[in-house]
Structure 1
Amino acid sequence: MQTEKVTNHIVSWLKDYATKANIKGFVIGISGGIDSAVTSALCAKTGLDLLCLEMPIHQAENQVSRAARHIEWLQGNYNHVERQLVNLTPVFDSFIDTLPSVANEDDRFLSLANARARLRMTSLYYFAGLHGYLVAGTGNKVEDFGVGFYTKYGDGGVDISPIADLMKSEVYEIAQFLGVNSDIIKAAPTDGLWGDDRTDEDQIGASYPELEWAMLADEQGMNTDHFTDRQKEVFVLYKKLNTANQHKMNPIPICKIPNGLK
């Protein structure tokens, strides 16, 4: 990948899109992870306003500190970068308190994890509407179009997706080029939705390099007969997730009414 040229292309695309839409800048949630770090830096490089939201919900301290240090790095290197802390922990806890109890509490863990992402999306759009900004998405290609590893109407609810055509490995390349803090680059990827230290790999069952390989293998129609046992395992996992999450990647189904019935 021609990292510098790709970086400049994305920055130009962002600035051009915002300018044509008569938008003053961007708002983005900063998680302490690689994707939000790179996306926010690309937005900052446009020279337009950038509002960075910190939205902890029972967040691990290392995630909070990485996010804070990244915003400080942005403000030290780029103009027009503002930060806003929105502590969503009490909001989330109040939301849980209003919900009916269930027989098995484990059954609602995933729903509550997704609720965290949707609370953050709501906060992002509040500030976007307040300031006339665009909500910048942080999803990469393998997450958005490979395995669908994001929350529908949560971190998937955005106005623009600057890095959605980049594989995770390419996001890391741009991070190195931009000079993103090393603690973010070295940190194991995590969605931070569970209140513990589980990583993306723990949840998915495969690493991002493995998923990138499987996505490429699927696109190229590689012969699975030549795969190793692990490659077969990862490929089956990839296909399973890709199929199950098509509802995230395709437009919402619309029931078309025949002309004769209207």
Structure 2
Amino acid sequence: MQTEKVANHIVNWLKEYASQANIKGFVIGISGGIDSAVTSTLCAKTGLETLCVEMPIHQAPSHVTRAQEHITQLKEKFNNVTDTRVDLTPVFETFKSSVPTSDSEAKLHLTLANTRARLRMTSLYYLAGLHGYLVAGTGNKVEDFGVGFYTKYGDGGVDISPIADLLKSEVYALASYLEVPHSIQVAAPTDGLFGDSRSDEDQLGASYDELEWAMKMSEEGKKDTDFTGREQEVFKIYTRLNTVNQHKMIPIPVCNIPFDLL
């Protein structure tokens, strides 16, 4: 990948899109992870207003520290960057106390994890509405179009997706070029939605490097029977996730009414 040229291409794309939409800036949720760090840096490089938002919900201290380190670095490098913090922990707790619970611990934990993401989406759009900004998404190609590893109408609810055509390895290459803090570059990827230390790999059952390989093999028309051992296992993981999460990747189904019924 021609890293510098890719970075410049995305920055120019962001500027052109904002200009055509008559929008003066971007708002990005900052998690302390690689994707939000790269996305916010690219937005900052446009010279347009860039609002970085921390939205902790029982967040791990390490996530908070990395997010703050990144925001501090951005503000030192770009005078168009501002930040704010929206503590959603009390909102989340109020929500939990107001809705029915479940006998299934697994379903309850997953549903509440998705609720965290949707509360954050709501906060980002609130701020975007106040300032006249676009919500910039932070999903990469493997997450968005490979395994669907995001929350529908949560972190998947965005106006634009600057890095969604980049594999995770390419996001890391951009992070190095953009001089994202080292602590973020070496941290294990995690969505931070469960309030514990589980990583993305823990949840997915495979690393991003493995999933990138499986995505490439799938695009080449390979089947799980073409592989053995760990490769076959990873390919099956990728295929299963890609299948069950298609509802996130395709347009919302619309029931078309026959003309003679209208």
- 5 Å-filtered alignment, 1:122-133, equals 122-133=122-133
Q: Which amino acid aligns with 1:174?
A: L
Report matched runs for 1:120-159 at 5 Å: 120-159=120-159
Displacement of 1:104 in angstroms is: 3.6
**Equivalent position of 2:118 in the other structure:** 118
How far apart, CA to CA, are the structure 2 residues paired with 1:155 and 1:177? 25
Counterpart in the other structure of 1:234: 234
Change (3 A) 1:175 1:130: same
Question: Deviation at 1:225?
Answer: 4.8
Shift of 1:20: 1.1
Partner SS for 2:232:
helix
The residue type equivalent to 1:236 in the other structure is K
Q: Which range is displaced more, 225-234 or 80-89?
A: 225-234
Tell me by how many angstroms 1:100 deviates: 1.8
Amino acid at match of 1:164: A
Moved over 6 A (4+): none
Superimposed CA distance per residue, residues 135-180 of structure 1 (whole angstroms, 9 cap, x where no aligned partner): 0000000000000000000000000000000000000000000000
Q: CA deviation at 1:228?
A: 3.4
Partner-residue secondary structure (3-state), 1:149:
coil
| Equivalent residue runs for 1:16-55 within 5 Å | 16-55=16-55
The answer to whether the Cα contact below 8 Å between 2:224 and 2:236 also exists between their aligned partners in 1 is no
Counterpart position of 2:213? 213
Give the match's secondary structure for 1:253.
coil
TM-score normalized with structure 1 length = 0.98
1:27 match: secondary structure: strand
Q: How does 1:148-227 map to 2 (within 5 A)?
A: 148-222=148-222, 224-227=224-227
**Deviation of the 1:78 alpha carbon:** 1.0
Return the letter of the residue paired with 2:221: G
Q: Number of residue pairs matched? A: 262
Aligned match of 1:99: 99
Structure 2 residue identity aligned to 1:5: K
Q: Which moves more between the two structures, 97-106 or 249-258?
A: 97-106
Q: How far, CA to CA, are the matches of 1:261 and 1:216 in structure 2? A: 45
Provide the TM-score with structure 2 as the length reference: 0.98
Q: What secondary structure does 1:211 align onto? A: helix
Q: Is 1:82 the equivalent of 2:85?
A: no
- Segments of 5+ residues of structure 2 without an aligned counterpart are none
How much does 1:221 deviate? 1.6
How far apart in 1 are the matches of 2:236 and 2:208?
15
Q: Check whether the contact 2:101–2:108 (CA below 8 A) recurs between aligned residues.
A: no
Cα distance in 1 between the residues matched to 2:178 and 2:103: 49
Q: Distance between the aligned counterparts of 1:205 and 1:104, measured in 2?
A: 22
One-letter amino acid of the counterpart of residue 221, structure 1: G
* C-alpha distance after superposition, 1:183-232 (max 9, x if no partner): 00000000000000000000000000000000000001236555231110
User: Equivalent residue for 1:56?
Assistant: 56
Q: Percent same amino acid at aligned positions?
A: 68
